[in-house]
Amino acid sequence: MNSKERVRAAIEHRQPDRCASTMQCVETAWEKLKKHFGTRDIDTILEKLAIDTRIMDLPPYIGPELPRVTGSTGETEYTHPFGYRYVHKWNGVEYNEHPVYFPLQKVETLKELEKFQDWPNPDHFDYEAVKRFCDRHGDKAIRVGWPGPYQVFTYFCRVYPAAGRTGP
C-alpha cells in the first residue's frame, strides 16, 4: 500500500497496512531534524520517517507587493495576502507571527459584512504550483491549505477580546 492508498483507506474506515501518518513542525524543530538526519531537505526527513502526507500551506502569492507599515509600537507590521497584519515576536527560541490587525475587526452587523470588499483576490495566487506540488508527490496524500478553517477565520476578525476590553 502506498501512502495515498493508506490515507484513503483510513479515511474510508478500511484497515490500512499500518497507521497513516502526517507531520508538521515549527522551524526550530525542522532545523534540529535537519541536523539530526544530516540534510537540508525536508522531504528527505519525511521519507526517513515514513510520513504519508505532504502539506502545501497555500498556493504561492503572486499578486502585487503587500504593504509593510510601522505600527503604533514602532514594530514593522507585515500584511498577509488575506489582509490581516502581523508583527514578528521573539519567544526566546524563534520568531512567531502575532496578528495585530484583522480586516473584519470593525464589522459588527450582517449588513456591514455584506458590504465588505477587501476579500483576498483569488487571481493573486499561483494555482499551477498546486499541480506541480501534487505531481512531485504523486504517491503521497496531499493537503493544500493551512491553517484550518477555524484559524483562517481568526485572522479575519478578532475572536478574543482586546486587552482591557470588558464589554461588546
Letter for the amino acid at 28?
T
Cell readout for 133 is 506540488
Place 147 in a pLDDT band, splitting at 50, 70 and 90: low
pLDDT number for residue 55: 93
Domain boundaries, the chain: 3-62+112-156
What DSSP assignment string belongs to 16-61? -SS--------HHHHHHHHHHHT-S-HHHHHHHTT--EEEE-SPPB
| pLDDT tens column, 102-141 | 999 989 899 999 999 999 999 999 999 999 999 999 999 9
| pTM as predicted | 0.78
DSSP secondary structure letter of residue 124: G
The confidence score (pLDDT) of residue 167 equals: 43
pLDDT tens column, 56-95? 988 999 999 999 999 888 899 999 999 999 999 888 888 8
